[in-house]
Amino acid sequence: MATRPLWHCPRCGRSFANRNQSHSCGLGQLDRHFERTSPEMRRIYEAFLAMLESFGPVTILPEKTRIAFHVRMSFAQLTVRRNWMLGHLVLARRVENPLFTRVETFSPRNHAHHFRLEQADEVEWLRDHAREAYAVGRQEHLA
């Protein structure tokens, strides 16, 4: 894991790997993401969180429009819709896989792999890539 100290926003207290990283201060309430959704959306979230926590500790950041998952940096996110879940995993390499609806490249070691889930049992399909994203969240790819 990277050893450089984390920077904490003096306004909201959120930690970041990079000093003065742009963000919107203020976290929302997790339960608000599940208002007016099918019960399956909460099951998807719980399965996704349990998978991520099987790799190690995770900080949950419920923001206005998404739920981010953070270690040293945010490495995954979910956006709750009424009957499906959108999300992405940040990987240090570009992976072409039918699981991903698209891949956005931001830098040579920063690629957002987008996916869509409709059932909680689909979460397990992401396990290997989620483990890799967790390592990115720990910044192991920078060692």
Question: How many C-beta neighbours within 10 Å does residue 27 have?
Answer: 16
Residue 75 has phi, psi (to 5 degrees) of -125, -10
Task: List beta partners, residue 88.
Answer: 77, 114
For the 27-142 domain, the top CATH level (class) is alpha beta
First-to-last C-alpha distance (Å) of the chain: 8
Indicate the domain borders of the chain.
27-142
pTM: 0.84
| Run of H or E including 114 | strand 110-117
The torsion region of residue 13 among left (phi > 0), alpha (psi -120 to 50) and beta comes to left
Query: What tens digit of pLDDT does each residue of 12-49 get?
Result: 666 666 665 565 655 668 899 999 999 999 999 999 99
Task: List beta partners, residue 113.
Answer: 89, 103
Query: What tens digit of pLDDT does each residue of 52-109 get?
Result: 999 999 989 888 889 999 898 889 999 999 999 999 999 999 999 999 999 999 989 8
Block residue for tokens 């979910």: 78
| C-alpha span between 23 and 8 (Å, rounded) | 12
Query: What tens digit of pLDDT does each residue of 8-22 get?
Result: 666 666 666 666 556
